[in-house]
Amino acid sequence: MSMSTPCGYKSLPFYKQSEIIYDFTIEFVKLYIEKYSRTADQLIQAARSGKQNIPEGYLQRSLRGRIKLLGVSRGSLEELLNDYMDFLRQKGLPLWDKDSPKAKAVRKLIYNSYNSYKNYKYYIRTAESAANAMVCLINQTNRLIDQKIRWLEEQFARDGGYTENLFKKRIQNRDK
C-alpha cells in the first residue's frame, strides 16, 4: 500500500489506536481533569497531535516528510504517556506493572478485529483504570510507530527520497 494513498492511513493499526487514544482522552478529561485547566488542554492537544500527524505524514510525497511527521506524532504520544503517568503519581494511584493481569487484559484488546473505543470504555470507570489503560495503549502504539519509522528510514537509505528520485528521472530524461 502506498503511503500517499488518500485515506489509506485509516487502515494502519497505529492510526486506529491513536483515534482510540484521542477519543478516550477527551472522555478522561471530562471525568477526571478540571474543565478549564492547562492540563486539560495539554492532554487533548497531545492526543490530537498524536492522531492528526499520522494522516498528514501519510499524505506527504517525500519519505523525509513522512518520517518527520510520524516522529511528531510519536513525540506527542510520548508527551501524553508522561501526562497519564504524572496523573497517576500525583493522585497516589498505582501504575500497573506491564506484566500484571490488568495490563495484559488491556494489551489483548488491540488484537480484537473490531478494535475501537468501545472496547476500552470499560476502563474509563475509574481514574486508575482509565490512566493505566492509556499507558498500555500508548506504549503499544508508540512501538508500532517506532517500527514504521525504522522501516521508512531503511527505505529512504535504500531507495532515496522524493527529490533525489525526481532529480534522477530528470537526468535520465535529459540523457535520452
The closest of 5, 11, 119 to 66, measured between CA atoms, is 5
Q: How far apart are CA 26 and CA 41, in angstroms?
A: 10
Return the pLDDT at 111: 84
pLDDT digits (tens, 9 = 90+) for 65-123: 999 999 999 999 999 999 999 999 999 999 999 999 999 999 999 888 777 899 999 99
What residues have CB less than 8 Å from 133, skipping those under 6 apart?
A: 24, 106, 120, 123, 124
The closest of 123, 147, 110 to 17, measured between CA atoms, is 110
Tell me the pTM: 0.87
Is residue 31 within 8 Å of 129, Cβ to Cβ?
no
**Would the pLDDT of 170 be above 90?**
no
Is residue 57 within 8 Å of 69, Cβ to Cβ?
yes
